[in-house]
Structure 1
């Protein structure tokens, strides 16, 4: 899905510098929260039909949720709307901003969500929305490579500047911007490795980079409860048995639990074995070997997706219980297709790798799940303050950092070899 930000501040209130992407909303809202003590809460709108947020344990489908009457998500005033004169699939946030004279003023932020699930994130800059013919040809070439010629999950290293000249030969504004973006990346990284362009590419690029630089097993993966996570969640939430394993039909609850447990144990085993390798060359060879083993590779993605679901459930429950949650969590559950973890699983996580990839707000969820900061060079945003985006925008200081490159917020490659 694509996102476009529209602002509608009431009289007397202004919003300065808020960008046109989910990342910008999260980052700047977080900064405002720190500087002015911003309080964001969730509430219904009196004039528009809100999509309800059903109880976590419900087994109803997304369609059934939309037909129910409006219901508060919890404390606060972030809500989803599918009606109103501005059209369907609209997310609205109220920011209560306390001014210097302690007078609270409300600002409305509208996020329009595209009906086209494959649409790229839209920006307020028309040049970002309307790409030219050259980029269309480039994207068609990428799709062709990902489905036929290009079979490697992670291609060998290539000089970044050479790759840029090869892929963007024209003199159109888009081609110039892309080359300029690659030149900026080349100030820090000398090479690039292409990531296979299927719907797993965001997971693949992030995991590859994390394993390539891993020196120890993450603390959360060392927990005794880690292997029994599927069993524990299934005992609480019956709807998890609808989890789709590699496009296979749903199995019995016990079978799903056992298979996901195998994936989690494989992830921990591979992470530990690679992190124990001290020689950088041998470590990279081990990573390369892992990403040429299709069966193991795709099992790891299933493990990551399930861990993302677990994180989403924790965030959802924290918000319902009045605990502080990251701003991206509100946006994650503000979509009419994921108003709760059940819908998130059914409409999004089950589709990753099959009919869709990670949306921008789900990049936040992935980073929060791994407890890694994901730094992304967004080349089509070159020369703007969104050129380098961090997921999450306010990470813990001790989180490791992995770096990715994207030309369109859909496909990701990885830069390697720092200067």
Structure 2
């Protein structure tokens, strides 16, 4: 089913060359990963978080950038520190669990509010909430807005960070005219990617047509008992049989929705259907569980292939070199289980998402404007027949969707 092109290493020289490439690639990817874990510039205390919410989002962004603790300055400081002897010694791909948890904890309470203005936050406070209908009041993907107007609203200052963001948005506007803001609840990377994939699809992918898809949960659970610790959204302590059946239902739903979208010939109809799907909280989050499980399956395959000496993508070396995910079980417990709960996708996991869906994810990384990382591809050596979805981020933590572009669906 989920097969990739693999090949065995050939001889000692190839092995040495492979090891050297691993070391170089892992250090480079670790730099990217550590940039993601630059300590958050959001307030860490409860009182500070409260003060943050009382200020308009625009003012908050402006103050953060002006304070000298903005994303660009942090990235620069990190790169400078990596040149020292001690930092270079410790740069061998291992990310400390403490730094990971610290970044996650700081983003849990505040990430969503960062990307909503004060009026929206206040409106949600006074909206009547009922247990059965509360999801109807939540917009997962906001209506489109002119991308330059959005930038002007979010970045009004003249600080170096604000200027860089403005130039980044201006560059993106050469390809896209509008942007749709994605709800920031630690599912935003999955939400933005899946929304784009479904709204642009024209056919059901081969891997979704496979009969093995629905057998996957039972197959993996029978082979790896640690998967019983899989954490479904707001559902803990499931029995093995129940977990297998539930994930199977999620995978069937993913196939059903994808097939339904692919049969729609009109892009307008697909867009409307996606808007409806992503306003149905129960179905929407069920799809995320399906995608997360596909990511786990892909990680297990990569791990096993590497152990067998088969060629694997470069990112998988880093994925399993972290001290928090040296094996698929650790990856599940410390990372995949936390998506949507206490953290979102890390940069290296964007590669895993791309491989799980067989999609190339192209990201405009605005804080990297004027560098060769401004437009980043996951994976950076994509398969020619993989479709492409495009996202936009200001900080590698939250992702929005650029829309209204020239026809461009593959690389």
Q: Specify if TM > 0.5.
A: yes
Alpha-carbon contact 1:90-1:112 (below 8 Å) kept: no
The answer to whether the aligner puts 1:142 opposite 2:115 as a matched pair is yes
Distance 1:258 1:138, change over 3 A: closer
The CA distance in 2 between the partners of 1:305 and 1:90, in whole Å, is 30
| Partner SS for 1:366 | helix
| Partner SS for 1:117 | helix
The CA distance in 2 between the partners of 1:144 and 1:349, in whole Å, is 29
Deviations 1:229-286 (A, max 9, x none): 0000011101101101113212111000000000000000000001100011111100
Distance 1:147 1:311, change over 3 A: farther
Identify which of 345, 353, 373 aligns with 2:360: 373
Identify which of 329, 343, 355 aligns with 1:356: 343
The answer to whether the aligner puts 1:117 opposite 2:100 as a matched pair is yes
Distance 1:138 1:255, change over 3 A: closer
Kindly report which structure 2 residues correspond to 1:116-265, keeping only aligned pairs within 5 A, or say none. Answer: 116-117=99-100, 141-142=114-115, 149=123, 151-265=138-252
Distance 1:328 1:149, change over 3 A: farther
| Partner SS for 2:244 | helix
Q: Post-superposition shift, 1:118?
A: 6.0
Alpha-carbon contact 1:372-1:402 (below 8 Å) kept: yes
The answer to whether the aligner puts 1:322 opposite 2:309 as a matched pair is yes
| Partner SS for 1:254 | helix
Q: Post-superposition shift, 1:117?
A: 2.5
The CA distance in 2 between the partners of 1:280 and 1:252, in whole Å, is 41
Deviations 1:187-229 (A, max 9, x none): 0000000000110000000000000100111111111110010
The CA distance in 2 between the partners of 1:138 and 1:352, in whole Å, is 13
RMSD: 2.8
Alpha-carbon contact 2:186-2:340 (below 8 Å) kept: yes
The CA distance in 1 between the partners of 2:88 and 2:117, in whole Å, is 33
The answer to whether the aligner puts 1:304 opposite 2:304 as a matched pair is no
The CA distance in 1 between the partners of 2:89 and 2:320, in whole Å, is 13
Aligned residues: 312
Q: Post-superposition shift, 1:148?
A: 6.7
* Other-structure match for 1:341: 328
Alpha-carbon contact 2:176-2:403 (below 8 Å) kept: yes
Give the TM-score normalised by structure 2. 0.71
Q: Post-superposition shift, 1:41?
A: 6.8
Q: Post-superposition shift, 1:301?
A: 0.3
Unaligned runs of 5+ in 1: 1-36, 45-84, 93-109, 122-136
Higher relative contact order (CA 8 A, sep 6+): 2
Q: Post-superposition shift, 1:147?
A: 7.0
The CA distance in 2 between the partners of 1:158 and 1:216, in whole Å, is 28
Alpha-carbon contact 2:22-2:314 (below 8 Å) kept: no
Distance 1:400 1:149, change over 3 A: farther
Distance 1:261 1:409, change over 3 A: same
